[in-house]
Structure formats: structure tokens, C-alpha cells
Structure 1
Amino acid sequence: MTALRTRRSAERTHAKGGAPIPQLPARRVENPYPPMALLSPDQVEAIHLASLHILENLGMEVMNRRALALFERAGADVDHSAMTVRLDRGLVAEALKTAPAAYTLSSRNPARQMAIGGNVINFTLVAGPPNVHDRERGRRAGNMRDYRELVSLAQHFNCIHMLGNQVCAPIELAANTRHLDTYLANLTLTDKPFHVSAIGRGRALDGINMMAIARGLSLEEVAADPGVGTIISVNSPRRFDEMMLEGLMAMAEYGQSVCITPFTLMGAMSPVTLAGALAQQNAEALCGIVLTQLVRPGCPVMYGAFTSNVDMRSGAPAFGTPENTKANIASGQMARRYNLPYRTTPGSASNAADAQGTYETLMALWGAVLGHGNLVYHAAGWQEGGLTASFEKFIIDVEMVQHIMEFLRPIVVDDGELALDALAGVPTGGHFFGEPHTLERYATAFYQPLLSNWQNYEAWTEAGAMDATQRATGVWKKALADYVQPPMDEGVREELEAYVARRRQEIGADEP
């Protein structure tokens, strides 16, 4: 049945005709250049020491009795009535010794395996917006049709390596069970790794179980070969809520990837100064990282950063600012201080897939790349400060990510590339169009964009004078037409569907 679905999808694509959308082949992306250092070694150490002061003297609110007990057994100073934890630097240092510097995330397709750490950089689909937008259907609440289309786009484009946690919330489905539907879509419409929801233990375990079913593995086997991740968002300043902690502990218990990400907006949830925000972010991240290692030493864990600023006139979040870009770079220095993989994010506060949305995202994206981010979360589709997943913005972002991927290819210098024979064969004042050296390479010499238009003004006008956002509509529509669902064994599909049906009944209508 699955093979038939895939064949029919391929036949529909062939029948539509037309050249495929130009895109880069699937590959592991590495950043071969040294990371940029905005902070001196002394400044990195000063931020580290300030964060230790926060952990030892100010403490963290940990709103979960099981987590408090774990910290207490490890020697932390725990105030159970106030639900606060103070960690001394020795406890932090011991926990960091077991956190891996790099690890691998596997999916049901071995070719989609993701390396996390070192010089490898991975890009994910946007995650979490309650709304969706495209130029033809307008802005609307998230729904399952849009969810499936956006996930299909992520599968179609090779530069997207992973799905985030719910590209949009399908609000027509029951809130307490919709995660089952989105996990099923992730696993059947794509063969890439994905993030699960960590709002409570149940949602995390459902994601782990369904990933194990899709790969034909036991829970013990996936604990040694992780396949899903999650983002633990800290309620900055200095608070870990109960449900997130349950999700964190469940993921760590089963050996899955956990990323601790403080959301430190300077001037609102953190000090207005970048150094103060980085110190707070660092303390919060370290607290969560320590907990993962107390649950399961060696659990794959990532240093997450999401430091930006607010508009001091209105209090609204701002992204893609110079401060946000500097924070992306400096946070990478802090992650490397602890020899941990690093998650970062490009973002924009623009309400449209316009010039503002592009330059803000690209500004922050450069910070992520120069800071040697290993996981660039929300890399494609983020709009309206994360409140909307945009189809057109997804295409614009894919174009920018592909530009970055090509930029990261090292320059080759050898006899063929130096082209001395070609230089000798072309007379002074001549041209290289017909030179054999050019003809041998013309098809692959340069990056071929999927969105840019290089026609002259007259030809562009005659073709409809469409700007990049308008052209992006045609690109995502063609990508959906060309999408081919990855094959899945029918027995595996049936087992997943049975799991969803059983869990939907178990959860019922009352579980949050």
C-alpha cells in the first residue's frame, strides 16, 4: 500500500511536468572556518563566574518535587518550601564531565542521520507558532492541513535537516492529544529527525515510543541510539516550570536529546545589558544541563541560547537586531567553554515576508553561523516574532540557508581551479564564455538560486514584475506538487496508527 502511494505521488509529479525546483543536494553541512570571538577569554571567564554566583547565591526556582529531590541527593542546597535550588560550582563541574561534546540523532531513514556538535551545522523548520500565513489564503489559526503541507515542504527541501516541535498547532484537534497526530504526520510525511513536545512526561514518552516503532527498535535500543530531541524553555528569569521539568526528565531518562534554552529578552526577562543577559542565560542553561546529567549521566544535551532585546518604547520583542546577532556569537563562545553542542536561532519581528523579515533573519543567521551553531532552530518559516509560520517566508529562508551552505564550502585551489591554461588561451580583452575550461564547468560553477530573478527590467516587467515574496508563492506551490512521500512499511504504519488510537483513548478528555 505504501509503495503504491509513493509510486502514484511520483507519477503525479511526472505528469505535472516542468523543471524541478533548483536546490542543493542533501549533505552534511560543516563550518570549516574558525568561530568568531566577540568576547575575550577574560570576558568569557567573567560571565562564567557571574553565572556561578547566580547559581550559588540567587538560585533557581525548580517547580517539581522529583527534580528537587534529584538536586538534593546530588548535594545542592534545596529549599523545598520555596522550591528553590542553589548549586555550588563543584556540583556543576562534575555534571559537565559526563555531558557529551557531540552525538548523533538517527531517524527511520539512516541517510538522514544528524551529527550534533563539532563543526556540523543543521537547520530546522520553524516550530511553535499558533498561526499560519500565505499570500493566497491569508493569516489563519494553525490547522492540520497546513501542518501537513509545511511538514511536506520540510521533507522536500534538502537543506532542512530536522523538524521542530509542531510547525503550527492544529487547533481543530483536542489539545491533549493533538501531539499524537503531529508526531504521526512527522513520521509518515517525512523521514527526518524531529523534536517532540516536552510539556509533561506523557507527550515526551509518546514521541519516544512512536519514534522507536518507526525504527523497529526497543526503548532500550533507542536510549543508546537517540532519534528525537526536545527544547526545554526556561521561564526566565530563573524559573523551571513543573511540566517542562517532567518532559526534561523523561527525555533524559530514555537517553534522548535535550536542549536547555533560556528565553532572555534584554530589558524584560533579563538585564538590559548584554553581559548581564548572557550571565543569566548561562546560569539558567547550566542548571538545566546539570539536571539532565543527574537523571542519566551521558545523556545527550545541548546548550541553548535565545537572547535578544525588546523595543524599549513598547516592550515588544525584537529579533535580528545587532544585539541579538552579537548574543548568537557570544553564546557560542559560552557553549564551547563547556565543550557542549550549541543551539541558536535566527528570527524576525516583521509581520510580513518582506524586506524587514529578510534582513532581520539574515542578520541573526550570520550570528548563528559565525558563532558556530550546531542546531539552527526556527531556520525556515518564522514570521511575526514566532507567532506565525509563513509559507512564503519558508521559501525565502530556504534560499538564505542554501546561500549559507554554499558560502561554507571551502575555496578549492588546485591546477584545475587556478585555470592557467584558460588564462593563456583567452587573448587580452577577450572573454571566457567559449573557453573549454568554462564549458566543462558552466552547469555547476555557481550556486543556482531557487527564488532570485536575474532578468533585465524589461523582461522582468513583461513576465509580471513579481517581487521575491510573490515568486515565493509559486515556489512553495510547486514544491508541494512535486513532493513525494517517503516510503514506509505498511506494518509499521499500522502499528503507529494503532498506538495513536490506543493512546488517544487512554488520555481521554480530562488529561491536560
Structure 2
Amino acid sequence: MNQLPWQQVRNPYKPVEVLSDDQVEAIHQAALRILEELGVEFMSGQALDLLAAGGAEVERPGGLVRFDRGLVEESLARVPARFTMTPRNDARALEIGGDAAIFGLVNGPPFVTDLDRGRRDGNFEDYRNLLRLGQSLNIVQYVTNQSVAPMDLPPESRHLDCYQSILTLTDKSFYATAVGRDRVEDALEMVALARGETREALVGRPSIFSVINVNSPRRIDGPLSEGLIALAEHGQPPVVTPFCLMGAMTPVTLAAALAQQHAEALAGIVLTQLVRPGTPVVYGGFTSNVDLRSGAPAFGTPEYAKASMAAGQLARRFGLPYRSSNANASTSVDAQAAYESMMSLWGALMGGANMLHHGAGWLEGGLVASYEKVVLDAELLQNMTEFMKPIVVDEDSLGFAAMADVGPGGHFFGTQHTLDRYETAFYAPLLSDWRNFEAWQEAGSKTATQRANAIWKRLLAEYEPPPLDEGRREALEAYVARRKESGKLAA
């Protein structure tokens, strides 16, 4: 099976700009007006104290916060344009920002599915298998705290089991949960143990990140506010991501949705900079539309793709790293899932996204993690990576010598020019092997989903855990046991 090597993906192309400079500025000014006049509600006393001390106007009780535009602009100026995320394996470090692009595993579905067993509740066994797939696929560059929710584990302690699995089954960067301070501190403590360091040594060295979803419209809940604060205190990047569905959580027009998304993201960014100036932050965009007949979210639509590109422009206006997603609303791994994912990918990557969340495995609007979709998305991501390689135009690549050798009416299959490139070309990355014609014929009789089913099984059969010092493994086990016995785990 062909895979691209592990690599830092670069996007050499100028992002598509669906907004004019004047439109970008108009949306930004509208967001500042939202922050000044309407405000954003924070449901955390600690967040309100920090915001009040930093110069924001705080209403108590109620928690509504209004932001002076000067405070917003000062905060944005402190955010670094790029940073490096370093997991327990230094060789897997990833740059985030600029022309860099990284791809992650799906996160958060309560259900999981595959062709053999169908749709079922999320569980720990499937969770660990999805991590193994994420480790095995080079194009999946970071893994997630809950690639599927392990609902057979107690909710107050399952994050410990998830972190332990991530740090033993993979050696890649990971998305921790930031539902409250304790879950962030547990993640940092366990990363430090896996690296053989102290937690203090991680301060200012990004080693984990977490998505902070805004409860649109204009509300950030208490646990996520406190998780954001804990991340910022340690110099770990929050990915501040409003969840904006036009016609449901925002006004129905794209311009209004972008203005609200921008305002909500800026509010979270201001808080990070009040906690620790210079903390890296990722600007998250997740704006799409709903089916106005049913209220169901829609993804991979023209509106979603345009919103992804426009959000990238807003992020770049302030030099902020930008996150988007590979999303679809299909209930099965079918043509709809494929074309909606492709629309999402084009919108994200041509919008200049630095972080592609839910890159592999998302199905059914985020309700389901699919084994087969992990493989099919990996192929899409590898093809997009090949697309993002710059075109080579030099004497050899222009092929004059090959044309002279072949002459009119010939073919180029057997020329050295072709053969030299055949060994390195990347035409059939995961689902086929063109060099074995019989195997290709047999595979051609199956659907892509059936072939993906065989591939994930083979990946799991061949999986080998990355090396981890035995003393560090034991330290992780002891920490998890100690925390579970402490009786101090938040629900």
C-alpha cells in the first residue's frame, strides 16, 4: 500500500479571496461593533475577573462583557503568526501558521461505524483502534482526545484513559479536552511524564492544543472558559472556534454570520492575551448553513466553502493561524460524503487553513466516526498534498529530449523520462496498486468503501506501537491510577 512519507505539508498557492479588502474591513468593523455594543457572555467568574482587570466592561450578574476596540486591537497584535507543536516524539513536531498545513483525526462523535458491524455507540475499543489508524497513516499528523467518545467509560475519568492511550499508542501531537482546568492540567502532566520532563518545562512550549467552541450566539460557557485560561497560563494554544450555523445560531446571511463568528473568535483571543501575552492562538472558522425545512446542519455546501475561504481572509488580516474542517452531512460513506468532503477540503485549503480539524473519519454531520471514511479521507488528503506541490518547470521537466526520442505518433510509456518518474509518482496512493495488474483488476470489482474496509483492517493488523521508555509508561499508569483514586475528578 502506497503512502506519502511523514512530512510538514506546505501550501505554496495564494489563497482564494472571496472578499475584497473593503469587505474584509467592513466585516471586521461590524465585529468590533458587536463586541462594543452587544457584547459576549462569559459564564466563568475567573474569566470575568480577568476581563474586567484587562479593561473590558463587565456586567454582573449576567456575565455580559463589552470590549473596547483598542483592547481588541492590542490583543491581536500580541498573537504570534506561527508556532511549533512538539509531541513526545520530537521528530513529529509540526509548524502551525504561514504556509504550513496540518491534518487531524476526527474528534467528538458519539457513534462509530464500519461495514462489518454497522453504527454503534462509541466505546473504548473502537477509540483505541482509531488511534492506531491515526498513528499508522502518515498523512494524519495529529490525533484527538475523542476520535469517538468512549461512552463505556465513566465521564469524569475517561479523559485520563484517552490521554494514556494517545501517549502509548501514538507519538503524534494531540488535541486534549479543555472542558475545565483539571483536564488541561492532566494532559500537561501526562505529556511531561511521557517526555521525561516536568510540567513547568512545557510552559511556553506548545505540546497540546484544544478547541474552545463558542456557544453561538455570543456565549462562552464556564468550563471551556476555564480550560482556555489553563491552556493560556501554560502557553498552550487554544483554537477559538465559534459554531455558527446560518439561520440557527447566526442571522441567515453569510456576511452576518462571518461578522458574528469574527466577534466571538476575537472575544476568546482577547482573554488568552490577558492571561498570558504572546500565547499562541488559532483562529477557528466553522460557519455553515442549515436546511431551513428541517433545521439540520449542512456541510460541504457552497456556503460552507465560501465561509471557509472568507474566514481565512479574516484570520490573515491579523496574521493569525487559521483552522477549518473536513466536514460532510452524509449518513453513509457514499458519493454525498465524497463530494461534500471534497468541497470542504477545497474551501479550507484554498482558504489558507493551517489546521484541518476532523481531517479523517467524520461522517453524519459529526455524529459518527467511520473506519472506512478514515481511509478514504486519508487518500483525499494525500491527493491534496500532491496538488499542493509546486509545478516544476526546468529543462528536464519540459521533456524536449523525450519528445525528440519518441517522434511524431509515438508514445512515452517506455521512455526513461517516464520511467524515472514512475517510481516516485503518486497516482494511486491508498486504494489501488497500478503495478500489479491482477490485483488492480480484482480491486476494481469492489467499491471504494469495500476496498477501504480491507485497508483499515490491514493497517490494524500491521500496527506496531511507537517506542516508549518503560519507566515513562509506568509513570503514566501510576498517574492515571492515582488520579482515579483521588476522588477529585470533575464530572
CA distance in 2, matches of 1:440, 1:452: 21
CA distance in 2, matches of 1:140, 1:50: 44
Task: Name the residue aligned to 2:422.
Answer: 442
User: Partner of 1:441: helix, strand, or coil?
Assistant: helix
1:270 matched to 2:250? The reply is: yes
Aligned mate of 2:339, from 359, 365, 374 = 359
Matched letter for residue 34 of structure 2: I
Q: CA deviation at 1:438?
A: 2.1
Aligned mate of 1:468, from 428, 441, 448 = 448
1:258 matched to 2:275? The reply is: no
The 8 Å contact of residues 164 and 377 in structure 1, kept in 2 or not, is answered as no
Matched letter for residue 26 of structure 1: W
Task: Name the residue aligned to 2:46.
Answer: 66
Aligned mate of 1:505, from 459, 467, 485 = 485
Instruction: Report the more deviating stretch, 175-184 or 443-452.
Output: 443-452
CA distance in 2, matches of 1:67, 1:172: 33
User: Partner of 1:379: helix, strand, or coil?
Assistant: strand
Q: CA deviation at 1:221?
A: 1.6
Task: Name the residue aligned to 2:289.
Answer: 309
The 8 Å contact of residues 315 and 322 in structure 2, kept in 1 or not, is answered as yes
CA distance in 2, matches of 1:102, 1:440: 37
TM-score (norm 1): 0.93
1:350 matched to 2:340? The reply is: no
The 8 Å contact of residues 176 and 507 in structure 1, kept in 2 or not, is answered as no
The 8 Å contact of residues 198 and 230 in structure 1, kept in 2 or not, is answered as yes
The 8 Å contact of residues 406 and 447 in structure 1, kept in 2 or not, is answered as no
TM-score (norm 2): 0.97
Instruction: Report the more deviating stretch, 209-218 or 302-311.
Output: 209-218
Aligned mate of 2:299, from 319, 324, 346 = 319
Q: CA deviation at 1:80?
A: 1.1
Q: CA deviation at 1:428?
A: 1.0
Matched letter for residue 467 of structure 1: T
User: Partner of 2:10: helix, strand, or coil?
Assistant: coil
The 8 Å contact of residues 270 and 277 in structure 1, kept in 2 or not, is answered as yes
Q: CA deviation at 1:170?
A: 1.0
User: Partner of 2:177: helix, strand, or coil?
Assistant: coil
Deviations 1:36-73 (A, max 9, x none): 10000000000000000000000011111111111111
Q: Which consecutive residues of structure 2, in runs of 5 or more, have no partner in the other structure?
A: none
Instruction: Give the 3 Å change call, closer, same or farther, for CA 78–313 of structure 1 in structure 2.
Output: same
Task: Name the residue aligned to 1:414.
Answer: 394
Instruction: Give the 3 Å change call, closer, same or farther, for CA 297–459 of structure 1 in structure 2.
Output: closer
1:50 matched to 2:44? The reply is: no
The 8 Å contact of residues 343 and 376 in structure 1, kept in 2 or not, is answered as yes
Q: CA deviation at 1:463?
A: 5.9
The 8 Å contact of residues 51 and 283 in structure 1, kept in 2 or not, is answered as yes
Matched letter for residue 79 of structure 1: E
CA distance in 2, matches of 1:44, 1:463: 48
Matched letter for residue 263 of structure 1: F
Task: Name the residue aligned to 1:107.
Answer: 87
Task: Name the residue aligned to 1:196.
Answer: 176
CA distance in 1, matches of 2:387, 2:187: 35
CA distance in 1, matches of 2:293, 2:311: 26
Matched letter for residue 487 of structure 1: P
Matched letter for residue 270 of structure 2: V
Deviations 1:315-364 (A, max 9, x none): 00000000000000000000011110001012011000111011001101
Aligned mate of 1:279, from 245, 248, 259 = 259
User: Partner of 1:303: helix, strand, or coil?
Assistant: strand
1:32-431 pair list within 5 angstroms: 32-431=12-411
Task: Name the residue aligned to 1:12.
Answer: none
Q: RMSD of the TM alignment (CA)?
A: 1.7
Deviations 1:253-304 (A, max 9, x none): 1111111000000000001000000000000000000000001111111100
Instruction: Report the more deviating stretch, 287-296 or 423-432.
Output: 423-432
Task: Name the residue aligned to 1:30.
Answer: 10
CA distance in 2, matches of 1:234, 1:452: 42
The 8 Å contact of residues 38 and 66 in structure 2, kept in 1 or not, is answered as yes
CA distance in 1, matches of 2:132, 2:442: 33
CA distance in 2, matches of 1:318, 1:367: 15
User: Partner of 1:498: helix, strand, or coil?
Assistant: helix
User: Partner of 1:163: helix, strand, or coil?
Assistant: strand
Matched letter for residue 206 of structure 1: D
Deviations 1:221-275 (A, max 9, x none): 2112110000000000000100111111011111111110000000000010000
Q: CA deviation at 1:462?
A: 6.2
CA distance in 2, matches of 1:435, 1:395: 34
Instruction: Report the more deviating stretch, 324-333 or 419-428.
Output: 419-428
CA distance in 1, matches of 2:348, 2:18: 13
The 8 Å contact of residues 235 and 279 in structure 2, kept in 1 or not, is answered as yes
Q: CA deviation at 1:219?
A: 2.1
Task: Name the residue aligned to 1:8.
Answer: none
The 8 Å contact of residues 426 and 432 in structure 1, kept in 2 or not, is answered as yes
The alignment covers a number of residue pairs equal to: 491
Q: CA deviation at 1:97?
A: 1.7
Instruction: Give the 3 Å change call, closer, same or farther, for CA 453–363 of structure 1 in structure 2.
Output: farther
